[in-house]
């Protein structure tokens, strides 16, 4: 099945020895992080933005996808960056941020991690029932396009597959359990007004990560998809500064 417009993976090779792996979020698309990707490229870095398995076609295609496949997606982009870059950072929005953390747990040689409103818990009272509910409820309301900027619009699925939410929960659990394995410096961005994920996700990671070099920056003027919102230039500028300080 053809990939829909706005969901395509992206790759910027500037001949740099520094590369950044930048991942989109759950049921979202590369369009949500392409602005940040371009800013990183303009700063001279190599950038890889994968399309996560099950995304970019129809929401039903996420049913049956395993969380290990999403890890494999970012692993493949990481391997591609290794071919051109000596120093590699991981970054991502929402579940993309979760994957950025997970990759740093697997690869202690990663030089730094940047997350934007990363996902470590499901913000729903029904979360404990999801492993069972997935057999009875195929999908629920969408979670895309939580944006303060009304002129912006995120490309994403119009439904949220419950079976895929269960896979996200598995990814979150293993990422939480291994948070102490991360050796890389951390930069967390968190929107004060996020209607998808709670502040708890970011605070938990900040408090439990064993590294001393970690920073939490609050976003005052963005909702969940902050990489497309009013604070997108703050995110880009601070991310570039963080990378340059850790090369």
Residues labelled as active-site residues: 94, 194, 224
Closest by CA to 172, choosing from 76, 245, 48, 71, is: 71
CA 77, chain centre distance (Å): 14
Contact call for residues 219 and 234 (beta carbons, < 8 A): yes
When computed from its CA atoms, the radius of gyration of the chain, rounded to whole angstroms, is 16
C-alpha–C-alpha distance, residues 75 and 85, integer Å: 15
C-alpha–C-alpha distance, residues 137 and 130, integer Å: 9
- Number of C-beta neighbours around residue 209 at 10 A: 22
C-alpha–C-alpha distance, residues 148 and 177, integer Å: 33
At residue 203's C-alpha, the angle toward residues 230 and 24, to 5°, is 50
Three-state SS annotation for 80-140 = HHHCCCCEEEEEEECHHHHHHHHHHHHCCCCCEEEEECCCCCCCCCCHHHHHHHCCCCCEE
By CB atoms closer than 10 A (0-12, 13-18, 19+), residue 138 is middle
Q: Which two tokens stand for residue 103?
A: 């990759």
């Amino acid at each position: 099945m053809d990939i829909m417009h706005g969901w395509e993976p992206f790759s910027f090779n500037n001949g740099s020895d520094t590369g950044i792996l930048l991942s989109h979020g759950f049921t979202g698309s590369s369009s949500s992080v392409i602005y940040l990707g371009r800013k990183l490229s303009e700063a001279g870095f190599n950038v890889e933005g994968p399309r996560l398995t099950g995304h970019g076609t129809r929401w039903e295609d996420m049913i049956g996808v395993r969380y290990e496949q999403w890890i494999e997606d970012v692993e493949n982009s990481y391997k591609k960056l290794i071919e051109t870059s000596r120093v590699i950072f991981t970054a991502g929005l929402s579940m993309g941020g979760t994957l950025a953390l997970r990759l740093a747990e697997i690869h202690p040689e990663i030089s730094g991690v940047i997350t934007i409103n990363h996902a470590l818990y499901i913000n729903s009272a029904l979360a404990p029932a999801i492993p069972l509910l997935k057999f009875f409820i195929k999908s629920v309301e969408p979670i895309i396009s939580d944006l303060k900027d009304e002129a912006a619009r995120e490309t994403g699925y119009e439904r949220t597959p419950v079976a895929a939410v269960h896979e996200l929960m598995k990814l979150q659990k293993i990422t939480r359990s291994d948070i102490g394995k991360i050796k890389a410096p951390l930069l967390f961005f968190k929107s004060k007004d996020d209607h998808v994920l709670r502040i708890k996700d970011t605070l938990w990671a900040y408090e439990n990560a064993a590294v001393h070099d970690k920073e939490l920056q609050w976003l005052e003027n963005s909702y969940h998809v902050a990489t497309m919102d009013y604070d997108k230039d703050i995110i880009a500028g601070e991310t570039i500064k963080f990378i340059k300080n850790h090369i």
